[in-house]
Amino acid sequence: MLVIQLNEEKYEYDVHALVQAFYPEEQVKVLTPAGSEEKRAELSGLCRMKILVTPPCAEFTMDEQSFIWRAPDGEDFKAGYKKFLYRTLCELTGKELPWGNLIGIRPTKLAYGLLEQGKSDEEILEFYRKEHFTSEKKAQLSIEIAKRERRLLSGIHYESGYSLYIGIPFCPTTCLYCSFTSYPIGGYRKVVDSYVDCLIKELAFVAESYRDKILDSVYIGGGTPTTLEPEQMDRLITALRDLFDFSAVKEFTVEAGRADSITREKLEVLKKHNVTRISVNPQTMKQETLDIIGRRATVAQVEEAYALARSLGFDNINMDLILGLPGELEEDVQRTIDRVVELAPDSLTVHSLAIKRASRLNQWVQENGVALLRNTDETMEITARGARALGLVPYYLYRQKNMSGNFENVGYAKEGKLGLYNILIMEEVQTIVACGAGSITKRVFPDGRIERCENVKDVKLYIEKIDEMIERKRQLLLG
């Protein structure tokens, strides 16, 4: 455990995130004056790092080494302090991070904003280098993706439109790394019909409330939507199409996801309702890893489900991969990508494994160590090469805390098949109305302000309180 004593609570997030990125093998704890007396007393003897922030100065002490910084006149203190902390950690550890000191900021959002200001590529690269110490490779990736996003979003209805998310919070099993709202379908089959009833009721309210707005994209996610039986899926999508005007919808996605939930009958339902984009997600093509993470769909099932979807005429299929899964090395990633290239999906979403507190992976790491979660420049490049071999281009990118290797998630796709909803959910430029247990609606106002309302996560509570969930939406959408 690496314990840090910090005298200013408002810097706690930045300190924790940066130090954790440099010391991924450590459990990092930050003690502030606002913390509990009991916790400070418990951990004070373990303190290895002290950071005193007293604007315009900051002092960093670790293992008898001390670093002092004073903000130059006219420099924003917080920005300068983050640079100081990053450079100090580089000196102590002898390593640099691919994204530099970028934390809590979507990299492409920076590039997007600078492009809007008319900045050249060279000026944007210099900004990333000077202000955030980002590698040139990552900065260039941000610029490339931001340009693609601008082109795709140019046809979106911002103030007059919206997108729709529908959550199906059931899965065949819960994977080791998962922190989403998801419940094993085996224990919930008796309430699924009632859940679909409530979803349709919530959707009916949204359709009436936004009858004068344009629907740009629809995304059914989860969980695993294909845990629904064919009749349940048909009933839900039939109601969806009856309630909403699909004439302007540019993309209709259903996350088929788990191959062990995919059947011909379910895919036929999706095809009948003109679903334009689906996912068949292996995560890895190494069976031993699938067994470790509790993903019961076998490699053979993934390949069979993918072939079935192709045979039924689906021409926009995404596959998800996760880098940094337990025990996987570069050669495992190479074998996975080689097989994916043979299958030739239309898009490929590459995730860097993130350790979420709510996932079982967090406990697994404490028991087995973080060293077994290996994500490197080479594994990232292996997937990038595979995407290029398929003629796919990077079109969206996001990062989150505790990602293996301090890397990122990148979506690749064929031109003309870029995932619109994926960009919209990341860039937060359009209202997304979300229905279902655990979903979060984000309303984007004309001035750029964003307000949210959440549905309860528990399925049975969602069913019991559906009228309250609708009232929350009423206040946000119509208030």
Cα distances (angstroms) measured from residue 420 to each of 70, 225, 266, 367 = 45, 19, 24, 39
For residue 305, with 0-12 CB atoms within 10 Å meaning exposed, 13-18 middle and 19 or more buried, which class applies?
buried
**Which tokens go with 203?**
């959707």
Tell me: pLDDT of 179 over 90. no
Average pLDDT over the chain reads 93
CA atoms within 13 A on the CB side of 269: 19
**Residue owning tokens 């917080």:** 78
Inform me whether the pLDDT recorded for 182 exceeds 90: no
- Is the predicted pLDDT of residue 369 greater than 90, yes or no? no
Q: What pLDDT is attached to residue 285?
A: 97
CATH no., domain 161-467:
3.30.750.200
Residue 357: its pLDDT value, please?
66
Residue ranges of domains in the chain: 2-90, 107-153, 161-467
Domains 2-90 and 161-467 share a fold: no
H helical segments located in 285-397:
287-292, 299-311, 330-343, 360-368, 377-389
**Percent of the chain topping pLDDT 70:** 99
For the residues 374-388, what does the mean pLDDT come to? 94
What pLDDT is stored for residue 361 in this prediction? 75
14 pLDDT higher than 70 = yes
DSSP 8-class letter at 402: T
- Pairing of the two strands 277-280 and 317-323: parallel
Which of 30-34, 52-56, 85-89, 231-235 is least confident? Answer: 30-34
- Distance (Å) of CA 138 to CA 115, 185, 322, 377: 16, 40, 19, 11
Whether the predicted pLDDT of 417 surpasses 70: yes
Q: CATH number of the domain at 2-90, out of 2.20.100, 3.40.50, 3.10.450, 3.40.190?
A: 3.40.50
User: pLDDT tens for residues 100-140?
Assistant: 999 877 889 899 999 999 999 999 999 999 999 999 999 99
pLDDT of residue 479: 82
Q: Going by DSSP bridges, is the β-strand pair 347-352/317-323 parallel, antiparallel, or unpaired?
A: parallel
| 465 phi/psi in degrees, rounded to 5 | -110, 30
Model pLDDT, residue 473: 98
Beta bridge partners of 319: 348
Q: What is the pLDDT of residues 227-267, one digit of tens each?
A: 999 999 999 999 999 999 999 999 999 999 899 999 999 99
- For 284-301, what is the mean pLDDT? 92
Amino acid at 193: D
Over residues 14-20, mean pLDDT: 93
Go through 80-114 and write b for each residue having 16 or more CB atoms within 10 A of its CB, e for each that does not. Answer: bbbbbbbebbbebeeebbbbbbbbeebbbbbbbeb
